[in-house]
A and B are shown apart, each in its own frame.
Chain A
Amino acid sequence: MIEVQNLTKRYPGRTAVNGLTFTVGRGEVVGFLGPNGAGKSTTLRILSSYMPATSGTARVAGFDVFHQADEVRRRIGYMPENNPLHLDMRVREYLKFRARLKGLGWRRSRERVDTVLRQCGLIDVERRIIGQLSKGYRQRVGLADALVHEPDLVILDEPTIGLDPHQIRSVRTLIKEVGKSHTVLLSTHILSEVEMTCSRVLILNRGSIIAADTTENLERHLSLDGQVIAEIAAPVAAVREAFRDLPGIERLEVVEADGAYTRLALTPRDGEDLRPLVFEQVRQNGWKLRELTRSRHSLEDIFVHLTRGRKEEVL
């Protein structure tokens, strides 16, 4: 759906996007993650044919975003950053106006407006003036606008920015819903958003992609230490004895915990999950177990880890 090759955008004195290369397949929901100023919005603006790249190519549904801009725009539903809307218009009126701009005929635009009003939960407010709506509703209007002409690709630039937790949740649910039937490219700097809504993530920093993978893979690759913690009802010495010579263990720490329990921390040598091994040992010895966890890197850790500039550790 999206093919980007060596995309570069330079502003006077600053390179916003530097040699970006990535693809997004049909039906994927991809998160575009990066700190503020990483070049996310610039890339999305180029993809939506708003402005040209300095060099490189980008194609959407096989059409070049610069030379075949109209074809691209017909296939994209784009919600710009901060979701700009005509605040003086009524919801239905606005969506109808946008549908007409996007080339839908009179009858078709009416049908589609009805559909997206329902889809985005806007039926109750369809006659209200947009400027009087809450931010959550406005965001839904922006999303309905992006969907009104049945685009192949939906591009959302920071769709949940400035919303309260309830609104964020409902907008995310809506995005997930949209993701079932559309290709979605979503930019955000909120990590949990990507974890919740996206199947794949592109991490962008200072204009370059520094990681691109599924969220699970990123977590797996970057949680190499994968330390396992267990609390076992047995003496310290016995626990140390039981685990000392097991294969695949890099480091072993045993300390006394409260009550009759011993706290065990195991670090694997090659990222292997040691939990089954621990459980097996506990079972064989007939001990009691009250905790067994594996430290897991959240996307947040990965993000901080990657964007600090330790690029040599990137996949």
Chain B
Amino acid sequence: MAVFLALVRRELGVAFNSLTGYVVIAVVLLLCGFSLVDIVIKLNGGPMDGPVVALFYHSAYFWLILLPLPSVITMRSFAAERSSGTYEALMTTPVGDWQVVLAKYTGAMLFYLLTWLPLLAVLAVLRQVTQESAFLEFRSTLGAFLGITCIGSLFLSMGCFASALTRSQMVASMLAFLMAMGLWVLGLGPDLSDTAETSTTRFLTHVSLMRHMDDFSQGIIDSRQVVFYLSGTLLFLFFTARVVESRRWK
């Protein structure tokens, strides 16, 4: 456990010892700011149904943050260590492959959650200004954050996997972004097709990130969705561990 914590601390340290971490936070902050403007404009357009937080993730800004962010956070986790050679130094200490994978994932997850905190600030500002309790309403906010955590968890594990495959951070981030984007585009399928419901559209609905977010932000926690993200995360972490372990295959 001490080793695991040391590794997680190191992962967080990497983010804050360099400029990258601050740049990422600043960009997310900026996009959150834009989305705040967007929400205010939409609210001025008249009354509407659904939770206010939905306005946020229906905006392009939300996906502009969510889709590339995990790939940017995880791109260096394995790739940078491999290209600088510190990977060899790490893997010749008595730490387990799984320990390394989980520590890198946990570090990335913590940083990811940290970058989302400005969203809370956006909601708090709206609530303060409008004196409307619908902003920052407990259940929908919790639901939205759970959604962000679940989707992020899957994307981060994909990112770890991509980073383990290559020495190039650029390739790792592109690969992770493509996987995340692919999944997101799949979910758009049912909305784009006019045909009646088939098994394909049912499947696509099932993996639609937008619909999952709809449910989450209404405070509906559907176990199917949680299981979907959890199993996806575990699958990609398993793949990552296999890649890490592969150097010891004869």
A contact residues around B89 at 8 Å (CB): 78, 80, 84-85, 98, 145
B contact residues around A74 at 8 Å (CB): 94
Contact (Cβ within 8 A) B91 A50? yes
B contact residues around A145 at 8 Å (CB): 89
**B72 interface residue per 8 A CB criterion:** no
Return B249 CB to nearest CB of chain A, in Å: 8
Return B78 CB to nearest CB of chain A, in Å: 14
Tell which of B13, B88, B92, B94 touches A89, judged by Cβ atoms closer than 8 Å. B13
Q: A84-B85, A101-B3, A105-B2 given as contacts; is B92 within 8 A of A48 (CB)?
A: yes
Return A251 CB to nearest CB of chain B, in Å: 53
Contact (Cβ within 8 A) A100 B14? no
Return A89 CB to nearest CB of chain B, in Å: 7
Q: Mark A266-302, 1 if CB is under 8 A from B, else 0.
A: 0000000000000000000000000000000000000
Contact (Cβ within 8 A) A73 B247? no
Closest B residue, CB atoms, query A157: B88
Contact (Cβ within 8 A) B3 A97? no
Closest A residue, CB atoms, query B95: A101
Within 8 A of A (CB), among B1-36: 2-3, 6-7, 9-10, 13-14, 17-18
Q: A73-B94, A76-B92 given as contacts; is B85 within 8 A of A82 (CB)?
A: yes
Contact (Cβ within 8 A) A101 B7? yes
Contact (Cβ within 8 A) B3 A50? no
Tell which of B13, B93, B249 touches A101, judged by Cβ atoms closer than 8 Å. B93
B contact residues around A101 at 8 Å (CB): 3, 6-7, 90, 93-95
Contact (Cβ within 8 A) B88 A84? yes
Closest A residue, CB atoms, query B90: A101
**A103 interface residue per 8 A CB criterion:** yes
Tell which of B2, B9, B17, B85 touches A80, judged by Cβ atoms closer than 8 Å. B85
Contact (Cβ within 8 A) A80 B88? yes
A contact residues around B93 at 8 Å (CB): 73, 98, 101-102
**B224 interface residue per 8 A CB criterion:** no
In the complex the two chains form, what is the Cα distance from A89 to B95 in whole Å?
A: 20
In the complex the two chains form, what is the Cα distance from A111 to B155 in whole Å?
A: 41
Contact (Cβ within 8 A) A97 B88? no
Tell which of A53, A70, A81, A100 touches B6, judged by Cβ atoms closer than 8 Å. A100
In the complex the two chains form, what is the Cα distance from A49 to B91 in whole Å?
A: 8
**A176 interface residue per 8 A CB criterion:** no
Q: Of residues B2, B84, B91, B92, which shows the largest number of chain A Cβ atoms within 10 Å of its Cβ?
A: B92
Return B114 CB to nearest CB of chain A, in Å: 18
B contact residues around A207 at 8 Å (CB): none
Contact (Cβ within 8 A) B94 A70? yes
A contact residues around B3 at 8 Å (CB): 100-101, 103
A contact residues around B94 at 8 Å (CB): 70, 73-74, 101-103
Q: A101-B7, A105-B2 given as contacts; is B92 within 8 A of A80 (CB)?
A: yes
In the complex the two chains form, what is the Cα distance from A73 to B85 in whole Å?
A: 17
Return A209 CB to nearest CB of chain B, in Å: 22
Q: Mark B149-160, 1 if CB is under 8 A from A, else 0.
A: 000000000000
Q: Mark A62-92, 1 if CB is under 8 A from B, else 0.
A: 0000100110011010101110111111000
Within 8 A of A (CB), among B70-90: 84-90
In the complex the two chains form, what is the Cα distance from A101 to B94 in whole Å?
A: 7
Residues of B bordering A, CB below 8 Å: 2-3, 6-7, 9-10, 13-14, 17-18, 84-95, 247-250
12 additional A-B pairs beyond A50-B247, A84-B86, A98-B93, beta carbons within 8 Å, are A49-B92, A69-B248, A73-B92, A84-B88, A86-B10, A88-B17, A89-B17, A100-B2, A100-B3, A100-B6, A101-B3, A101-B94
**12 examples of A-B residue contacts, CB within 8 angstroms:** A51-B248, A54-B250, A66-B248, A69-B248, A80-B89, A84-B84, A85-B89, A88-B14, A88-B18, A101-B7, A101-B93, A102-B93
